[in-house]
Amino acid sequence: MVIGECSTSTAPRFFPMSRLRKDAAGILVRRLSLPRRSWASSKVQSFRTLAVRASNPLPAAVASEASAKVIDGKYVSKLIRDEVAAEVSRMKEAIGVVPGLAVVLVGERKDSATYVRNKKKACESVGINSFEVHLPEDSKEEEVVKFISGFNDDPSVHGILVQLPLPSHMNEQSILNAVSIEKDVDGFHPLNIGRLAMRGREPLFVPCTPKGCIELLHRYGISIKGKRAVVIGRSNIVGMPAALLLQREDATISIVHSRTQNAEEITREADIIIAAVGQPNMVRGSWIKPGAVIIDVGINPVEDSKSSRGYKLVGDVCYEEACKVASAITPVPGGVGPMTIAMLLSNTLTSAKRVHNFQ
Ligand SMILES: NC(=O)C1=CN([C@@H]2O[C@H](COP(=O)(O)OP(=O)(O)OC[C@H]3O[C@@H](n4cnc5c(N)ncnc54)[C@H](OP(=O)(O)O)[C@@H]3O)[C@@H](O)[C@H]2O)C=CC1
Ligand SMILES: Nc1nc(=O)c2c([nH]1)NC[C@@H]1CN(c3ccc(C(=O)N[C@@H](CCC(=O)O)C(=O)O)cc3)C=[N+]21
């Protein structure tokens, strides 16, 4: 556990997001895009307004009063889960197929066990079948691969997720390679990542957390094309695929990592920041260009005597400072985390639809 306070000020303020307006064909609900119109008609300031103001930064005294729009991942993830649930039942009625997700957990890490439990619950809530294998910490790599192969061959399983991190004696690469590319709902298989990196190629699945980040930008009507984006962190599961995705969306990308010399300066150039570092409150207000949009992926436990758990979760971005400078920001918790789960459900549904050729 790390202590990482950046300010003493209070918890994030949430602005209510305007409700989606359904059109006659229900298109907006199914695609769940949040049209700018709905923002403009709501009482909160639109991103565009904020962005315009940002290009003309206000004097410090006034700017310190400003507060970024909160990008509410919990709310958007609920919309997506409802949409997945509707599609799952439509498929079940039409062709009698129920999507299935298999989760492989190795070892006794408490956080991993909690994540797996949450994923199972999320599956249940949308009608996806879930299968779980829990193997002891000292299992052999071949045993894990054996279970993966079983799921590869099982037609009732459409997605396979191997919970990371694996115990240190295991070779993560060979285990992830064992997952059939058609069932790789995490999008970690090198073939899926390779296709993500190549122009004109389409991966079967895109990694859930980066996909959730982009989905939030889309659904809040935040344009990416031509923008300068900085991704802080280059891990295989978040930073690197997030940068690839942003590039596919026509942003100009910089990637900051632990060897970067002028991280603050590079970050300050960004219109869009995705922080996936695992360092509590690392990105301070002074790192942020006024009006930038911030997607904070970090989930860091820090000591908190006021919480019954003894800790609270904070992001990689110092929220209290950032929300005074940015035009929009994801909170932690309630930002990217719930979107990761929603994307996993969505990828599992996509997989089942693809294999059964169900539109
Ligand atoms: N919300 C969600 O759904 C998810 C949240 N997370 C959270 O996101 C965070 C990152 O996760 P993950 O990508 O798996 O982490 P990793 O530890 O795998 O990667 C961290 C990355 O950050 C870089 N880094 C570390 N310290 C610094 C620093 N001081 N300055 C600049 N760069 C630095 C590392 O650089 P280098 O490559 O040089 O080592 C590395 O690329 C964690 O808090 C994790 O809990 C993760 C997955 C999902
Ligand atoms: N194969 C694999 N795929 C993953 O996608 C994967 C993984 N391994 N290993 C661990 C990381 C981490 N991760 C999170 C998912 C949801 C929340 C989440 O829902 N967080 C809540 C808070 C939950 C709480 O309060 O504890 C939130 O941010 O609001 C967080 C983190 C997926 N990961």
Instruction: Quote the DSSP letter at residue 19.
Output: P
Ligand nearest to the CA of 111: 2
Say yes or no to pLDDT of 241 above 90.
Answer: yes
> CATH 3.40.50.10860 spans which residues of the chain?
97-197+342-348
- In degrees, rounded to 5, the angle at the alpha carbon of residue 204 between the alpha carbons of residues 198 and 210 is 75
Pocket test for ligand 2, best of 132, 340, 343, 347 (most atoms within 8 A of CB): 340
CB 336 within 8 A of CB 297: yes
- Ligand 1 atom with the smallest distance to the CA of 282 is 29
Say yes or no to pLDDT of 350 above 70.
Answer: yes
Mean of the pLDDT values across residues 193-217? 97
ipTM above 0.90, yes or no: yes
Ligand nearest to the CA of 282: 1
**Exposure b/e, 173-210, CB count within 10 A at least 16 = b:** eebbbbbebbbbbbbbbeebbebbeeeeeebbbbbbbb
pLDDT bucket at 45, cuts 50 / 70 / 90:
very low
- Ligand 1 atom with the smallest distance to the CA of 315 is 43
Helix axis angle, 110-126 to 336-355, nearest 10°: 50
Pocket test for ligand 2, best of 119, 299, 314, 348 (most atoms within 8 A of CB): 299
> What is 49-73+207-337's CATH topology?
Rossmann fold (3.40.50)
> Considering only CA atoms, which residue is closest to atom 48 of ligand 1?
209
Q: Output the pTM of the full model.
A: 0.88
Query: In the numeric block, which tokens belong to residue 94?
Result: 């039409």
Mean of the pLDDT values across residues 191-219? 97
CB 99 within 8 A of CB 349: yes
> CATH 3.40.50.720 spans which residues of the chain?
49-73+207-337
Q: Which residue has the higher pLDDT, 68 or 21?
A: 68
Mean of the pLDDT values across residues 37-50? 34
- Ligand 2 atom with the smallest distance to the CA of 114 is 26
Interatomic CA distance for residues 213 and 246, integer angstroms: 10
Q: Which residue has the higher pLDDT, 38 or 126?
A: 126
CATH code 3.30.70.270 for 97-197+342-348: no
> Considering only CA atoms, which residue is closest to atom 15 of ligand 2?
337
Q: Which residue has the higher pLDDT, 71 or 20?
A: 71
Ligand 2 centroid – CA 247 distance (Å):
24
Of 237, 94, 102, 87, residue with least CA distance to 157 = 102
Residue 7 is predicted with a pLDDT of: 52
Q: Which of 39-48, 70-79, 273-282, 296-305 has the lowest mean pLDDT?
A: 39-48
pLDDT bucket at 201, cuts 50 / 70 / 90:
very high
- In degrees, rounded to 5, the angle at the alpha carbon of residue 56 between the alpha carbons of residues 54 and 60 is 80
Ligand nearest to the CA of 313: 2
Ligand 1 centroid – CA 37 distance (Å):
36
Q: Which residues are part of the catalytic machinery?
A: 119, 163, 186
pLDDT digit string (tens) for 261-308?
A: 999 999 999 999 999 999 999 999 999 999 999 999 999 999 999 999
* Pocket lined around ligand 2, Cβ cut-off 6 Å: 115, 161-164, 186, 208-209, 299, 313, 332-334, 337-338, 340-341
Residue 64 is predicted with a pLDDT of: 47
Residue 5 is predicted with a pLDDT of: 72
Mean of the pLDDT values across residues 177-190? 97
